[in-house]
Copies of this chain bind each other. A is one copy, B any other.
Amino acid sequence: MTATPVADDAASAACCATCAAPALAEAAAREAARLLKAIADPNRLRLLSIVKHGPADGTCVCDLTEPLQLGQPTVSHHLKILVDSGLLAREKRGTWAYYTLVPGSLDKAAALITEL
């Protein structure tokens, strides 16, 4: 989809004979960075950790605010980023929202790093 720019052969030959292998395509890199940026935040890592080790049927939002010692709007902001990026699923039950990990989402994110 995205054209990978070809290195200038003359310039490359000035220092080494082997041209660089094709890089991760630009669009794929942007997409991967988007997901990894959603994870690469201390509070969001802690939220993911709490939800991962929480009840299988979901962790109540009321149990996510206290451990982080952050205000509810800040926690909601981080949770929205995690839901929007496909890492967490949100289900409203009565008064409260419950969060679960989207199955395979963390493995998918990790694979973006190991399979570069």
B-contacting residues of A (Cβ < 8 Å)? 4-8, 11-12, 14-16, 18-24, 26, 29-30, 32-33, 36-37, 39-43, 45-50, 52-55, 59-60, 62-64, 66-69, 95-96, 106-107, 109-114, 116
Contact = CB atoms under 8 A, between A and B. Distances in A.
Given A33-B45, A36-B45, 9 more contacts: A15-B62, A20-B64, A21-B50, A22-B67, A29-B49, A32-B45, A33-B41, A49-B116, A106-B114
A78 to B, nearest CB: 12
Copies of this chain in the oligomer: 2
A19 B63 contact: yes
Given A21-B50, A63-B7, A26 B14 contact: no
